[in-house]
Amino acid sequence: MRIAAILFVLGGALGLYGASQYQIPEGAIPLFPGVTVAVGIVGFVFALIYALILWGFADGLVLLADVDDAQRATQRQLADLTLAQRTARGPFHSEVVTGSRPPEGG
């Protein structure tokens, strides 16, 4: 998307350059003498705005990916911690807590 944003800015700049180089024929009476340059400037401004939106959207996607990675890492760490606690307690933890132990030496 960042490449597309750069291409939009370059396209707008080339459009502005082309509008400034365009010559109105001598027989025509222009409504406004700088109309071609004004249209080129407006086109460049719109291309620049669209490029900024694309650039910001690309940054937003990177941030969303980072948040997703962080959430996955947190869930994995929580699962590892839970497994470690269960393993450290042993299989008869509930019996130890309630006070009823199986008879030893049987």
Q: Distances in Å between the alpha carbon of 45 and those of 2, 35, 36? A: 17, 15, 14
**CA-wise closest residue to 44 among 9, 20, 18:** 9
**CA-wise closest residue to 22 among 32, 13, 10, 34:** 34
pLDDT on residue 92: 55
pLDDT on residue 95: 55
pLDDT on residue 12: 86
pLDDT on residue 82: 80
The whole-number mean pLDDT for each consecutive block of 10 residues of the chain, a chain of 106 residues, reads: 87 82 64 73 89 90 90 85 70 57 57
